[in-house]
Amino acid sequence: MPVLIYSFECPAGRNIANALLPRLKPAPKSACGAHELPTWMDGRGIALIEFNKRLSSEAEELSALSLPQDELVVFLSRHASKEKRPCFTVHAAGNWTQEPNWGGRPGELAKTSATALAAAIQSLQNNCLQGFTVDLEATHHGPTNLSWSSLFVEVGSSETEWQNQTVCAVVAQACLAACNPIYATEKQVAIGIGGTHYCPKFGKLEGKEYLFSHVCPKHSADYLNAGLLRQAIEKTVEKVDCVVIDWKGLSSQQKLKTKEICESLSIPTERA
């Protein structure tokens, strides 16, 4: 039973949920510790749950939900940036650093699914609106402690997009697509290392040569070590085939360090 979760405090999340509600029916509330969360279900067993706190920094409380260990959770959320450019973004959760910035436990990555990420991105690309971009983002923020695989599907980057029901309906469709990923197994599942936060090099390869799960950008690569890369591999639901390095998106020292870490874990590397 895939689960879609949004925060009532997030305007984009509410509007994405509003786009889904016509196909859903009210269901018994979901117990989450001492709280009961509003819940809706569709005929295929997909649940929508309303949370009342910020997803990126406070959703670790959701670990109290009673869900199967192999569950997939899709977070419906907003994306914000200084540029405020219209975009759709998809990413896994995690904190590569040792700082508690933006949520996520320091040095901890969330469990995720490369095929679900790819399915969401393909849906957004197929239904993309004029003036919008579709971006695979680097792994960032929380929650990182959930025992189920998860991903964020977002609309950005300002109140204008968050409050636009047509825009949010595109994200709603992508969230449903993530719940039923259909990808051929011949594509390699990969961890991406290097490049900027918006991963332009990996975004061009996504769904074509590779299906990416966790991505470590250049600004976090100095924190990368064998333990973190092992986490990225082990917390990807699918078997990871290789690490793809954005060769021009790392310093010489970072490239050398990344190669050494991959060799220590016997994981193949490929250049992008």
The predicted pLDDT at position 69 comes to 86
DSSP three-state, residue 15: helix
What are the tens digits of pLDDT across the range 239-251? 999 999 999 999 9
Residue 233 lies in a domain: yes
Identify the bridge partners of residue 36 per DSSP, sorted by sequence position: 31
The predicted pLDDT at position 249 comes to 98
Same-domain pairing of 27 and 83: yes
The predicted pLDDT at position 154 comes to 98
Q: Is pLDDT at 108 greater than 70 in this prediction? A: yes
The predicted pLDDT at position 145 comes to 94
d(CA 110, CA 166): 30
Alpha helices, H only, the chain: 11-20, 55-58, 114-126, 159-162, 165-178, 200-205, 226-234, 252-264
Same-domain pairing of 172 and 258: no
Same-domain pairing of 134 and 219: no
What are the tens digits of pLDDT across the range 115-152? 999 999 999 999 999 999 999 999 999 999 999 999 99
Q: Is pLDDT at 217 greater than 90 in this prediction? A: yes
Contact (Cβ atoms closer than 8 angstroms) between residue 85 and residue 154: no
The predicted pLDDT at position 184 comes to 56
Residue 164 lies in a domain: yes
Residue 238 lies in a domain: yes
Same-domain pairing of 102 and 217: no
d(CA 256, CA 11): 43
What are the tens digits of pLDDT across the range 53-92? 999 888 899 999 999 889 999 999 999 998 899 999 999 9
Same-domain pairing of 259 and 125: no
CATH number at residue 48: 3.40.630.50
Residue 40 lies in a domain: yes
Same-domain pairing of 169 and 262: no
Residue 63 lies in a domain: yes
Q: Is pLDDT at 20 greater than 60 in this prediction? A: yes
Q: How confident is the model at residue 183 (pLDDT cuts 50, 70, 90)?
A: low
Neighbours of 70 (CB within 10 A): 10
If we measure between CA atoms, which residue out of 81, 77, 82 comes closest to residue 93?
Answer: 77
The predicted pLDDT at position 266 comes to 98
Q: Domain range holding 210?
A: 188-271
Residue 183 lies in a domain: no
Same-domain pairing of 132 and 200: no
Same-domain pairing of 198 and 143: no
- Find the mean pLDDT for residues 166-171: 99
Contact (Cβ atoms closer than 8 angstroms) between residue 150 and residue 120: no
Residue 172 lies in a domain: yes
Q: Last residue of a domain, which of 178, 204, 223?
A: 178
Same-domain pairing of 171 and 60: yes
- Find the mean pLDDT for residues 93-110: 91
Alpha helices, H only, 179-244: 200-205, 226-234
- Could you give the number of structural domains in the chain? 2
The pTM assigned to this predicted structure is: 0.97
